[in-house]
Structure 1
Amino acid sequence: MLDVKRMQVLRAVVASGSVTGAAANLGYTPSAVSQQIAVLEKEAGIALLERFGRGVRPTAAGLLLTEHAAAIGSRLAEAETALADLRAGRTGRISVRYFATAGADLVAPALARFRTEHPGVRVDLRIAEGAPDAEADLTLVVRPRGGPDAYGEGFRLVHLVDDPYRAVLPKGHPLAGRRAAVDLAALAAEPWVGSERPGPCLDAVLDACAAAGFSPDVAVECEEYATAQGFVAAGLGVSLIPLMGLGSRHPGVVVRRVRGPEPVRAIHAAVRESSLALPAVRGLLTALREV
């Protein structure tokens, strides 16, 4: 196997026309340069230099390796520049996964801000529900508030925002005419339209209801916020929907704050430990927090 460093020594000898000149340029002794060339010739299995006047010149094999050494040197320089740009957050690619209702209010404005500060960084953005994507640098997830920072092997949780739930009522509901926040316990006897699939979001709702002293009587299972509003508007029940899920409100519903307690889903970024060293990933985290 040819040694790249020795090939660069050969390149220096050919460029200067002598072992002594190459040694001076490289900061080596002439003996060290000669030893490097001797080992390279042994690796190549053929002579690379021949005497020419008071100096040396490359053989056909030496000229061939010198040309490849120049190409390798150029590629190494390009790699060093690219690596420096990556370390500085000027270039690169980061992979982000998010759930749909975090898109409009959180991801979109954060990404717009991020691109003004890191225009050379490409962001691979895709919807993903549930556990973090092992291939993604950053995945938005819902986790309990005040939980551990670690999230499985190789991931770290970074809290971004608490997204409170709102009571969604039919327009003719007795509580719809009040401007004050609705006591959660006041909805205990109501039929409910379920807006969440099993998981941490539903857990946040059920835990709040349990704290208020009841378990909701779910009359309609929906698992989709816009459709849940339609069922509520039709008078089939009441529902709890997170604020980020209420971007497009049905004209037949009224939305009120909830208290006693207020259900909240905590949105976190699950970041790969190795990706936290990338300035671009840290920059996106900053943008998400600021938004």
Structure 2
Amino acid sequence: MLDVRRLQVLRAVVTSGTVTAAAAHLGYTPSAVSQQMAALEKQAGTALLERVGRGVRPTAAGLLLTEHAALISSAVARAETALADLRAGRTGRLSVRYFATAGSTLVAPALARLRAEHPGVRVDLELVDSEDPFQGVAKDRADLAVVVQARDFSGDGFRLIRLADDPYAAVLPLGHPLADTEVIDLGQLSGEQWVGSEPPGPCLEPVIDSCAAAGFSPDFVIRSEDYATAQGFVAAGLGVGLMPRLGLRNQHPGVVVRPVRNPEPVRVISAVVREIALDQPSLRGLLDALRDAAATADPPDEPRAD
């Protein structure tokens, strides 16, 4: 295999025309340059230089390798420039996963800011189920995932960054006896039939745990994994529900939304990243933008009563 460093020495000799001039350009001794040329000729299996007076000129093989050495030098220079752009965040690609209710509130404004600050960075987005908090990141399919944090999250080589707390509120049909109550004690809903809006997993856990702390288990008579559909079932008088505030940004006209206490269920929205990926300025910029989006997100519409 030809030695790339020796190819560059050959290029310097051919370009300058003498071993002495090449040595001065490279900071070598003439003897060291001659040794490098002898070793390269041995690797090539043919003569690369011939003497002409006090100088040298390339043989056909020497000219061929000199041309390839120039191409290698140009490719290395391009690689160094590309690497510098990547390390500075001017270029690159990020793979981002998110769950539905975080999309418009957190991810969209964060990506708009990222595009303004790092216009050369491409972002590949994918909507995923929030049930598995870090599957995409753990399997190297994503650099960052916006997730609902599970209680048992763990993983070496990953970092979990808290973005926002998303409290659940009671969703009641118009005319419900508790519709005029300013704040509902969770235990007041113990005898109700319930409309479920969460799949099993980290979004349902705060509901189940809080109801247990209030002394009951919710009686789910209908289950829907879509907040708009679940609100429709509540509006039809088929039950009550607990839904996160981010899922209630588009409130159904047939329901009222009231805060709950004793206790108040809360789901934690976080970003999961691979620690090694934090070397990318664009990823750090996206994290900063997500934090700011979470801190400045407009609150959901004010609860409506009849």
- Pick the TM interval, shorter chain: over 0.9
Q: Pick from 148, 166, 180: which aligns with 1:142?
A: 148
Instruction: Quote the residue 1:288 is aligned against.
Output: 290
Deviation at 1:177, TM superposition (A): 2.1
AA of the residue aligned to 1:154: G
Show structure 2 runs of 5+ residues with no match.
Answer: 294-306
Q: CA deviation at 1:8?
A: 0.7
Q: CA deviation at 1:90?
A: 1.1
Look up the match of 2:160: 157
Match of 2:178, SS state, is helix
| Deviation for aligned residue 1:153 | 3.6
CA shift digits 1:219-242 (9 cap, x unpaired) = 111121111001000000001111
1:83 aligned partner:
83
Aligned to 2:297: none
Q: Determine if contact 2:133/2:150 at 8 Å carries over to the other structure.
A: no
C-alpha displacement of 1:155: 1.7
Q: Deviations over 1:193-220 (max 9, x none)?
A: 0111000110111111111111101111
- Deviation for aligned residue 1:274: 1.3
Dislocated runs of 4+, deviation >3 Å: none
C-alpha distance in structure 2 between counterparts of 1:35 and 1:266, whole Å = 66
Aligned residues: 287
Return the letter of the residue paired with 1:205.
Answer: V
Counterparts of 1:39 and 1:5 in 2: how far apart (Å)? 11
Deviation, structure 1 residue 144: 4.6
Corresponding letter in the other structure for 1:39: A
CA deviation string 1:32-90 (max 9, x = no partner): 11111111111111111111121111111111111111111111111111111111111
Question: Are 1:120 and 2:120 counterparts?
Answer: yes
Tell me how far apart the structure 1 counterparts of residues 164 and 34 of structure 2 sit (CA, whole Å): 65
What is the percentage of aligned positions where both structures have the same residue?
70
Task: List gaps (5 residues or longer) in structure 1.
Answer: none
Q: Distance in 1 between matches of 2:125 and 2:98?
A: 8
**Within 1, Cα distance between the matches of 2:267 and 2:211?**
14
CA distance in 2, matches of 1:43, 1:161: 62
Quick one: which amino acid aligns to residue 276 of structure 2? S
2:254 corresponds to 1:252: yes
How does the TM-score come out when normalised to structure 2?
Answer: 0.91
